[in-house]
A and B are shown apart, each in its own frame.
Chain A
Amino acid sequence: QKEVEQNSGPLSVPEGAIASLNCTYSDRVSQSFFWYRQYSGKSPELIMSIYSNGDKEDGRFTAQLNKASQYVSLLIRDSQPSDSATYLCALEVRNTPLVFGKGTRLSVIA
C-alpha cells in the first residue's frame, strides 16, 4: 500500500517569505514525484516533477527529494498572495497510476 502523508495546514507565511511544504511516503520503490497546485474550486495543475535525489529548481519553486529518508519537499521563494492554494504531493511507482497526498493548504498573507 503506497501512502503519501502531508500536513493539511493551513500553513501561513508572510508575503516575500519562503514557504516550505513537506511530504513523506511509505513505498521505498517510489520512482517519480510530483507537486500539483490547486486553487479553491479549480482543478489540480502540475507545477514540479522530480525523479532523482537532490534539488530541482524552476523559477521561484524548488523541489527537493531524499529517497533514503523518503521525503520530498517544495520550497516557494518570495511567496506571493497568488501562491495561496492547496499543494498536492503525488508519487508514481513503475507506471502505476499516481497516488496523491491529501494536500497542504498554503496561505500567503500580504
Chain B
Amino acid sequence: DAGITQSPRHKVTETGTPVTLRCHQTENHRYMYWYRQDPGHGLRLIHYSYGVKDTDKGEVSDGYSVSRSKTEDFLLTLESATSSQTSVYFCAISARTGHANTGELFFGEGSRLTVL
C-alpha cells in the first residue's frame, strides 16, 4: 500500500473556527490532491499541488487554502469554517512513481469534518 496518511480522521468544530487537515505521504510523489465528497455531488477537487510551494485551485476552492512546504506534506486549511464545509475530505497522490501526474490516484483514508 502507498504510504499516505491523513490527520485528523475525525473532527467536530464550530462555525467560524480555523481548521487544518494534514496529508502526509512517504512515496515522494510530486502531485498531491485534496478532494471533498458529499452525497449527491461525488468527489470534487478543492486544490492540488504539483511540487513544493506549487499549488493550484480546483473547482470548489472558495473558503480553502493549501500549503506545501515539503514534498511529503500537503495541508488544507479552512480559515473560518462554515456548515457548508461539513464533508469527508480525501487526500490523494499519484499511484505512479516519479513525476507523473496521472489519473491513477491512491487515496488516503479520509477526514470526516463536521462544522456545527
Contact = CB atoms under 8 A, between A and B. Distances in A.
Interface stretch (B18-26, B63-71, B74-82, B101-109): B101-109
Given A97-B33, A97-B48, A97-B58, A44 B104 contact: no
Interface in A7-61: 32-34, 42-46, 49
Contacts of A98: 45, 103, 105
Contacts of B108: 43
Nearest to A8: B40
Given A43-B90, A88-B43, A34 B104 contact: yes
Interface residues of A, number: 21
A51 to B, nearest CB: 10
Interface size class of B (residues with CB under 8 A): 20 to 34
Interface in B8-56: 33, 35, 40-45, 48
17 contacts: A32-B103, A34-B103, A42-B110, A43-B90, A43-B110, A44-B105, A91-B103, A92-B102, A92-B103, A95-B101, A97-B45, A97-B58, A98-B45, A98-B105, A100-B42, A100-B43, A102-B42
> Can you list the 10 inter-chain pairs with the closest CB atoms, starting with the nearest?
A102-B42, A92-B103, A43-B107, A100-B43, A98-B103, A34-B103, A95-B101, A100-B42, A32-B103, A97-B45
Interface of B: 33, 35, 40-45, 48, 58, 90, 95, 101-110
